[in-house]
Structure 1
Amino acid sequence: MSYVDGFVIAVPTAHKEKFRLHAETADAAFLEMGALRVLECWGDDVPGGVQTDFHRAVQTRDDETVVFSWIEWPDKATRDAAMQRMEELMKTDDRFNPEKNPMPFDGKRMI
């Protein structure tokens, strides 16, 4: 049985290519740390819900697109080790340096 981390974010639609490049860089690091695969899903047909939905969860604006991403790990132990390693990499690896690879979205609204 796999272990999965899932994320929903609101990305400025005009920054789709910036997001793709940012994700490509970060995703490679997750794969190096043992992830089986990483999927980035650009919202195309994401309807609004009656009580809640992805749009409300991440407070999308008119000029933003919902993105659903997930990382598949072989198990929780591999994932936990990778997350611990990522904390260290944030200080030393440019792929996780916000000045060298800035997030093209508001990380505070990520769920």
Structure 2
Amino acid sequence: MTYYTGFVLPVPAENKQAYADHATASWPMFKRLGALRMVECWGEDVPHGEQTDFYRATNAREGEVPMFSWIEWPDRQTADAAWARIMEDTQSFRMTDMPFDGMRMFWGGFSPLVDER
């Protein structure tokens, strides 16, 4: 069954193109590891909430834009194997010059509950 790794992170607005370039450059690695699709979404209509929101979740600072991203995998086993390989060989899979603060990014793995097309 299809499996997704989802990410939420803040990116400085002035780094929009640098982020797109970074994501595009990382796609061949994820594809080699079995990913089917990668989607990077730039926040455009992201309201500030009263109790919680994307800004609070990422501790976004003035001038930062929330990103919502996901990688689609054929199944959880492929995703788990890919992430294990990346974590065990960080030198080979090192992502340099990240145009965002990775310490304020969060992620998780998800299996579809409803998938209407």
TM-score by length of 2: 0.84
In the alignment, residue 5 of structure 2 is paired with which amino acid? D
Q: Residues 9-64 of structure 1, C-alpha deviation per residue, up to 9 Å, x if partnerless?
A: 00000011110111111122111111110000000111122211111100111211
Give, in whole Å, the separation in 2 of the partners of 1:67 and 1:79.
21
Q: Secondary structure at the match of 2:10?
A: strand
Distance in 1, Cα, partners of 2:99 & 2:91:
19
- Cross-structure match for 2:43: 43
Aligned to 1:91: 91
Please list, as runs of the form range in 1=range in 2, the aligned pairs for 1:1-111 lying within 5 A after superposition.
1-93=1-93, 96-98=94-96, 102-111=97-106
- Structure 1, unaligned runs of 5 or more: none
Q: CA offsets, 1:72-99, max 9 Å, x none?
A: 1111110011112212442124xx242x
Amino acid at match of 2:58: V
Give the secondary structure class of the aligned counterpart of 2:23: helix
Q: Secondary structure at the match of 2:91?
A: helix
Three-state SS of the structure 2 residue aligned to 1:4 is strand
Query: Could you tell me how far apart the structure 1 residues matched to 2:95 and 2:102 are?
Result: 14
- Indicate the RMSD between aligned Cα atoms, in angstroms: 1.3
Counterpart residue identity of residue 60, structure 2? T
Tell me, which stretches of 5 or more residues in structure 2 are unaligned?
A: 107-117
* One-letter amino acid of the counterpart of residue 19, structure 2: F
Identity of aligned residues (%): 49
Rounded to whole Å, the distance in 2 between the matches of 1:49 and 1:72 is 29
Q: Distance in 2 between matches of 1:68 and 1:97?
A: 19
Report the counterpart of residue 111 of structure 2 in structure 1: none
Higher helix proportion, which one? 1
| TM-score of the aligned structures, taking structure 1 as reference length | 0.88
